[in-house]
Structure 1
């Protein structure tokens, strides 16, 4: 136990805490302290596993009074490792994961420790859905508070566009409900402002009818014409059509010929959420781009797009996110050439925005990038300390190649990249308004283990 946390202090917290308190000498401490990000070895002083709002409030007040660094964890997917903290207190919400669906009202209350996969399965049982990202093990609270870009975003909006209310434990230990009528300024800030304002313990979502989708992997050769055509087809297609387009070496997939393994390919995760009888026509433009290496796109239940994650997978990579307008043929040629200049696993990923995302005013939520048309992510996986510098230079050079003047960034895909990049996630007046709300609800900046917006003043 660190010098900053005494045994009497922890014993005092136990008297007000009904959940689990995990300390470094507990047998499951090492398993519980691990986050998804590789290359880090976090050692919190205390891991608090609350069972209810009262437990969360007790842990928040304990951290504040003890002067401990405080981290909040749901799924643990933070690209900066912010779901944990050395020598501090981690509020680990994974024991709070109830999903209560109201089919008649088409809403659901979801506890913050639930995952996207669990929530999607629970709502699908009623023929309903709310859009999250694309990974089943991601925590609901983390992806929601940053915006929530996923398979249903173009048709039904971001996750935050479907958030109706949230229950929040504030820095002073109060528990409040934020919605359009109660604490509306806090509700605005929660919808895209990340974990800056408090510990969100429950979220109420609007649900949409969805009996199934046509989706899965489509693997195509990585030619410039395929890449440019794929992006254009998504941007010009119906809102119900979306895909995550990855240009990368083909993994050793069992259904792909061995001679294709390691060869640059366009590996797309496709989703058509419109009427099933219209799927073939909607998918025809991308299927016509080239003879597929593999085409696994078929009618499936929506939860099948959220397979369970591998708990042993802890990638170490250099990654950067950006926003851009389009990918024409010359840019596609440059991207494919750039990918050929590095060995190992590397990827340029593109996602079409627009649709319902762009029909929300930019100042309606703290996610302000409503006019951006594409999101890009560039990553190179690191195999050891000797290749990090080379891979960092490659990533930064590739981002510069893709840069079309949109200075924005998606906060959920930021790593530990410094305050200027956090500013990029919250442009102009959005930053000022977030800082003002922060000054009201967390003036001491207790919640700073995040992509932090300090309180105004």
Structure 2
């Protein structure tokens, strides 16, 4: 533990913003997106360049203090903030340099997906991230990145050309297919296990506008089954995210529908408007829409403003399934109707397309042939309700589980080593452990979905 005197001496040494428990901004600095996380780091350090990050990494090595790395603060278990250790906050690392001619961008890892998207859109360009604008691009990218362009342009990591990363020895490494290719492979899906990513070089795609937005339909088994079937049959230009949930009291929904189960979908057709209207027509025809906001719009319109005061308590489970037919749809409806949570939900993301055309061994994200990602959630009000909703989530997952037992690391909670193994099946796990042993043999970067260093055998 650093004493107040030692922290005082750090300020000129690190040349970075340092926040301690005695400072007025401490509680705001340690806040993260999920509720129920009250970790108190000994010090919060906010660098603005890789050299400062390297100094913080070496400080953690010297002191033996826990080191957490915060990007956007959206980790479901609060990995970005630690108790009694050093919290490395990338909030000041938001520089973006777009090269329109080469359709590439260098960006620091503290920028949010929404900020990057708005800036790139000025040039009619986009990189696909996730489904939430306030998520930091650092953690999202390192885990894979499954969003509104996944079928058209692949995962976020499929558009990662290079990265700057500070490893556990304090070295600043430039990694790509030719420089430290093993490390470049590992950070494309392996999470924050291998160092602090400080900058990324992304490929940008021409996306001047999309056809899409929100479509709300009554949730029946046939609507759910048909929605999934249409999403699977659609061209790669269309990516969809469908949430089956009780209708919230939104002003654009009829009051009599509030609380009833609906299918609330966000659709994104990344192609010409006329073709997009044709592709979206079958979705509109599944049932009389309760709300139809599908239109030609800027891609950034898929990242609406968010409530900064929303910090949910939630139980959740991420998984993959091969099919959602009539039987699975009925099971989903039955479970949602049985929940006592404030807001239960089942999210369905049909995958495939460009994501599936990348070989499974090309990156540390190994779920290239997974067909549908399912995320189950129960948002509740009081901490003492957790056990009830976690048990409901487990039963729900067991009821719809099929032969694909994989997991998406970016949506894992605190679920134990077996679930981390599920994110990295087969030889992927062995390869990651060997690379971890090479670059972080003491497991300095352990506040994450951890891959321990070593070689199985």
Shorter-chain TM-score tier: over 0.9
**1:243-282 aligned within 5 A:** 243-282=240-279
Counterpart of 1:180 in structure 2 is 177
Match of 2:286 in 1: 289
Aligned to 2:130: 133
Q: Name the residue aligned to 2:379.
A: 381
Deviates more, 1:294-303 or 1:376-385: 376-385
Q: Is the 8 A contact 1:13 1:58 kept in 2?
A: no
- Residue equivalent to 1:315: 312
| 1:16–1:55 CA contact under 8 A, matched in 2 | no
User: Residue 409 of structure 1: which of 407, 410, 413 is its match?
Assistant: 407
- Matches of 2:183 and 2:352 in 1, distance apart? 26
Please give the residue correspondences for 1:57-456 in structure 2 after superposition, counting only pairs within 5 Å: 57-343=54-340, 344-456=342-454
1:104-158 alpha-carbon deviations (Å, 9 max, x no partner): 0000001000000000011111111100001110001110000000000100010
Moved over 4 A (4+): none
Give TM-score scaled by structure 2 length. 0.98
C-alpha deviation, 1:346, in angstroms: 0.1
In structure 2, C-alpha distance between the alignment counterparts of 1:16 and 1:386, rounded to whole Å = 44
The TM-score with structure 1 as length reference comes to 0.98
Return the alpha-carbon distance in structure 2 between the equivalents of residues 439 and 385 of structure 1.
38
The size of the alignment, in residue pairs, is 454
Alpha-carbon shift at residue 291 of structure 1 (Å)? 0.2
Compute the displacement of 1:255 (Å). Answer: 1.0
Contact 1:117 1:308 in 2 (8 A): no
Aligned equivalents of 1:354 and 1:440: distance in 2?
Answer: 33
Distance 2:105 2:195 in 1: 21
SS in 2 for 1:24: coil
For structure 1, the residue ranges without an aligned partner over 5 or more in a row are: none
Shift of 1:207: 0.6
Deviation at 1:240, TM superposition (A): 1.0
Matches within 5 A, 1:7-18: 7-18=4-15
Task: Report the secondary structure of 1:266's partner residue.
Answer: strand
- Quick one: distance in 1 between partners of 2:170 and 2:296? 47
Secondary structure of 1:431 counterpart: helix
Partner SS state of residue 95, structure 1 = coil
CA contact (8 A) 2:71 2:139 kept: yes
Q: Deviations over 1:372-409 (max 9, x none)?
A: 00000001112224422221121111111110121100
CA displacement at 1:363 relative to structure 2: 0.3
Measure the CA separation in 1 of the matches of 2:207 and 2:85: 42
> 2:387 & 2:19 partners in 1: Cα distance?
37
- Is residue 76–residue 413 contact of structure 2 (8 Å, CA) maintained in 1? yes
**Post-superposition offset of 1:13:** 2.5
Q: How many Å apart are 1:277 and its aligned residue?
A: 1.4
In structure 2, stretches of 5+ residues that fail to align are none
Q: Distance in 2 between matches of 1:308 and 1:442?
A: 38
Once residues 384 and 184 of structure 2 are traced to their aligned partners in structure 1, the CA distance between those partners, rounded to angstroms, is 45
Q: Equivalences for 1:45-56 in 2 at 5 Å? A: 45-56=42-53
Per-residue CA shift, 1:336-373, capped at 9, x if unaligned? 12211123310010001110011000000000000100
